[in-house]
C-alpha cells in the first residue's frame, strides 16, 4: 500500500496582505492532494525551500565545499546566502509546524490501525475534527473553538470581544458568570434562556449598548453553528432569535466636536515633540482624513503616502481606503517628515520603528496600550483647549461625519468616505447626531 506523503511548503501563489507567504502542509496520496493551513507565514528570503522550513541561522560554506566549486559558482552561492534573512520567530514557528506534521502522521497511523482506506481528504477531515475538539452538543465548546480559530487568523480585535463576553457568560475562577462555570448545551438555548440571560446582564447594571453587544455576539456564534456545513449543531427551525428581538440603545448620542472646538484644537499652543502635541496632531489628521481609526493611525507608514493621497488597508475589515490629502493634513505630515526617513517608518512617533510587525499579538497589545495613552493625553488637551467633552480618538470620526452631514453631503458619499459596508450603518451613525437638525427644523417653523 502506498503511504501518504506529507510536505511543508511555502505558497508563493497565495501572498497575504502583509506581503508574506503562508506556510501550508500538503498531504498527497494516490496522486491526490489536500492542503492544510498552518496559520503561519514568512518572507520568501526566510524560507529554506530544500529543508521545508524557516532558516534558523544563516548557512555557511565549508572549506571543502569552497574547494569543490569554481569561482563563479562560489560567488553565486555566496550571494544567495547573503540574501537570506532570519526570522526572529523561526525556531518557534518551525517547532509549531513540526508539531502539526506529527499530528497528521498520528492520524494516518490510527486510520491504518483501524484498517480504513487512506486518502488525503480523509486524513484532513479526521485532523480537523480532532483539532476542533468540540462536542456536537456543547455551545460553550463550540464558542471556544471559534475563539481558537480567530487566534489562528490573528483576528485579535474580534477575539478580545468574544473572549470577554464568553467569560461573562460562562464564569471562571475570578468571576461567577451567568452559567456559574456550567456547560451550555445547544438544546438549552431557548427564548426563556435568552430572557434570563438578558435579565442577568440588566441586573449587573450594564449599559443598554453593552447588553445589546453581549446578546448580538451570542447570536452571531449561534448563527455560525446553524450554518456550519456538514454539521447539525442547531436547527434553524428552533432559532429563538426569531421571537427574541435585540434592543439597540437608540438614546445614546455619539459625542463629537463642533467647528469652534476643532478650531480651538488647531490653535492650541503645545510644546513641540510632547505627547500632548503628537496626540492633538493625530486627532486632527484623523479628522482631516475622514476619520481614520486609531489602530490604523498608529500603523500608518510613509509608504502609505502616495501622490498626494493616503492609501491604506483598514484593520477592522481589510478594506482598501484612499483619501485625498487636503492642505491641513499635508501640513501635519510636514511636521513629522525628515530627510533621512525610511518609507517603512511609522509616521506618528508612538510605535517604535523596530517593532516586530509580524508578531500580530504583540502588535495588537502595543496598539491597545498606545491608544489608551493617546486618549489620556487627549483629555488633557481638551482641558487646555477649554473643551468640556470627553475627547477620544474616535470622536475625530464622529466629528467628521457630523460636519459632512451639516454641509449637506449625501448619505452615499458619507458612507463611502467612512468606508461603511452599507448605508444603514451610516444612517444609524448620523441619526445619533440628529437632535440638532430637529431643533433647527423646529425653530424654522416659528421664524
- Is it the case that residue 260 has pLDDT exceeding 80? yes
Mean pLDDT of 179-197: 91
Q: Is the Cβ–Cβ distance between 406 and 290 less than 8 Å? A: no
As a whole number, the mean pLDDT across the chain is: 84
Rounded CA Rg of the chain: 27
Residue 446 confidence class, pLDDT cut points 50, 70, 90: very low
Q: Is the Cβ–Cβ distance between 154 and 360 less than 8 Å? A: yes
- Is it the case that residue 36 has pLDDT exceeding 90? no
CA-based nearest residue to 197, from 184, 209, 215, 173 = 215
- Is it the case that residue 317 has pLDDT exceeding 90? no
Q: Is the Cβ–Cβ distance between 2 and 9 less than 8 Å? A: no
By percentage, how much of the chain surpasses pLDDT 70? 86
> Pairing state of beta strands 320-324 and 47-48?
unpaired
Query: Given this model, what pLDDT does residue 398 score?
Result: 86
Query: Given this model, what pLDDT does residue 130 score?
Result: 56
The CA distance from 434 to 440, in Å, is: 10
End-to-end CA distance of the chain: 92
Q: What does the pLDDT look like over 123-167, one tens digit per residue?
A: 766 666 555 555 567 899 899 989 888 888 778 888 889 999 999
When mean pLDDT is compared across 61-65, 281-285, 286-290, the lowest value belongs to 61-65
Long-range contacts of residues 300-306, Cβ cutoff 8 Å, at least 24 apart: 300/346, 300/347, 300/348, 301/343, 301/344, 301/345, 301/346, 301/347, 302/337, 302/341, 302/342, 302/343, 302/344, 302/345, 302/347, 303/343, 303/344, 304/347, 305/333, 305/347
- Burial level of 5, CB count in 10 A (0-12/13-18/19+)? exposed
When mean pLDDT is compared across 199-213, 266-280, 334-348, 354-368, the lowest value belongs to 354-368
When mean pLDDT is compared across 44-53, 68-77, 421-430, the lowest value belongs to 421-430
Distances (CA, A) of 58 to 46, 54, 61, 80, 229: 10, 10, 10, 11, 45
Q: 18 versus 433: which is more confidently predicted?
A: 18
Say which residue the cell 500608518 belongs to.
Answer: 300
The CA distance from 336 to 305, in Å, is: 13
**Pseudo-torsion of CA 380, 384, 387, 389, nearest 10°?**
10
- As a residue count, the chain comes to 447
Query: Given this model, what pLDDT does residue 174 score?
Result: 81
Q: Which of 97-106, 234-243, 408-417 has the highest mean pLDDT?
A: 234-243
Residue 103 confidence class, pLDDT cut points 50, 70, 90: confident
Mean pLDDT of 296-305: 94
Mean pLDDT of 359-372: 88
Global model pTM greater than 0.85:
no
CA-based nearest residue to 329, from 305, 361, 352, 345 = 305
- Is it the case that residue 385 has pLDDT exceeding 80? yes
Q: What does the pLDDT look like over 190-242, one tens digit per residue?
A: 999 999 999 999 999 998 889 999 999 999 999 999 988 777 888 888 999 99
Mean pLDDT of 86-90: 89
Residue 374 confidence class, pLDDT cut points 50, 70, 90: very high
Query: Given this model, what pLDDT does residue 253 score?
Result: 63
- Is it the case that residue 372 has pLDDT exceeding 70? yes
Query: Given this model, what pLDDT does residue 430 score?
Result: 64
The CA distance from 318 to 194, in Å, is: 33
- Is it the case that residue 310 has pLDDT exceeding 80? yes
Query: Given this model, what pLDDT does residue 55 score?
Result: 92
The CA distance from 331 to 274, in Å, is: 18
The CA distance from 301 to 310, in Å, is: 10
- Beta strands (DSSP E) in 236-350 are 305-306, 309-313, 320-324
Query: Given this model, what pLDDT does residue 360 score?
Result: 81
What are the DSSP calls for 5-41, one per residue? EEEEEE-TTS--TTS-EEEEEEEEETTEEEEEEEEEE
Q: 429 versus 341: which is more confidently predicted?
A: 341
The CA distance from 310 to 297, in Å, is: 11
- Is it the case that residue 26 has pLDDT exceeding 60? yes
Query: Given this model, what pLDDT does residue 444 score?
Result: 52
Amino acid at each position: 500500500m502506498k503511504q501518504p506523503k506529507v510536505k511543508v511548503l511555502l505558497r508563493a501563489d497565495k501572498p497575504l496582505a502583509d506581503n508574506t507567504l503562508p506556510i501550508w502542509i500538503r498531504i498527497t496520496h494516490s496522486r491526490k492532494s489536500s492542503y492544510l493551513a498552518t496559520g503561519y507565514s514568512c518572507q520568501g528570503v526566510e524560507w529554506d525551500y530544500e529543508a521545508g522550513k524557516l532558516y534558523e541561522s544563516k548557512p555557511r560554506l565549508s572549506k571543502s565545499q569552497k574547494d569543490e566549486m569554481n569561482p563563479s559558482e562560489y560567488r553565486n552561492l555566496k550571494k544567495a546566502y547573503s540574501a537570506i534573512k532570519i526570522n526572529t520567530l523561526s525556531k518557534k514557528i518551525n517547532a509549531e509546524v513540526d508539531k502539526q506534521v506529527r499530528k497528521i502522521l498520528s492520524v494516518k497511523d490510527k486510520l491504518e490501525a483501524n484498517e480504513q482506506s487512506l486518502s488525503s481528504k480523509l486524513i484532513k477531515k479526521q485532523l480537523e475534527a480532532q483539532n476542533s475538539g468540540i462536542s456536537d452538543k456543547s455551545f460553550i465548546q463550540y464558542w471556544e473553538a471559534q475563539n481558537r480559530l480567530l487566534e489562528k487568523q490573528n483576528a485579535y480585535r474580534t477575539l478580545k470581544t468574544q473572549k470577554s463576553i464568553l467569560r461573562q457568560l460562562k464564569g471562571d475562577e475570578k468571576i461567577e458568570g451567568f452559567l456559574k462555570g456550567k456547560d451550555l448545551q445547544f438544546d438549552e438555548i431557548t427564548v426563556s434562556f435568552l430572557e434570563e440571560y438578558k435579565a442577568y446582564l440588566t441586573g449587573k447594571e450594564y449599559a443598554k449598548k453593552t447588553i445589546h453587544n453581549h446578546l448580538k455576539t451570542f447570536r452571531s456564534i449561534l448563527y455560525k453553528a446553524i450554518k456550519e456545513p456538514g454539521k447539525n449543531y442547531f436547527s434553524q427551525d428552533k432559532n429563538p432569535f426569531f421571537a427574541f428581538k435585540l434592543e439597540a440603545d437608540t438614546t445614546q448620542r455619539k459625542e463629537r466636536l463642533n467647528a469652534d472646538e476643532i478650531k480651538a484644537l488647531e490653535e492650541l499652543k503645545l510644546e513641540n515633540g510632547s505627547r500632548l502635541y503628537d496626540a492633538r496632531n493625530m486627532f486632527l489628521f484623523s479628522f482631516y482624513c475622514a476619520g481614520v481609526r486609531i489602530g490604523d493611525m498608529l500603523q500608518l507608514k510613509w509608504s502609505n503616502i502616495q501622490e498626494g493621497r493616503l492609501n491604506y488597508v483598514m484593520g477592522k475589515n481589510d478594506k482598501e481606503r484612499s483619501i485625498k490629502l487636503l492642505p491641513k493634513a499635508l501640513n501635519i505630515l510636514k511636521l513629522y517628515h525628515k530627510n533621512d526617513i525610511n518609507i517603512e517608518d511609522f509616521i506618528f512617533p508612538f510605535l517604535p520603528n523596530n517593532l516586530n510587525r509580524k508578531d500580530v499579538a504583540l502588535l495588537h497589545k502595543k496598539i491597545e496600550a498606545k491608544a489608551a495613552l493617546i486618549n489620556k493625553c487627549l483629555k488633557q488637551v481638551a482641558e487646555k483647549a477649554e473643551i468640556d467633552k470627553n475627547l477620544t480618538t474616535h470622536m475625530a470620526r464622529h466629528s467628521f461625519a457630523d460636519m459632512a452631514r451639516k454641509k449637506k453631503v449625501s448619505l452615499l458619499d458619507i458612507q463611502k468616505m467612512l468606508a461603511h459596508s452599507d448605508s444603514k450603518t451610516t444612517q444609524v451613525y448620523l441619526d445619533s447626531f440628529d437632535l440638532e437638525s430637529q431643533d433647527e427644523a423646529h425653530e424654522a417653523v416659528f421664524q
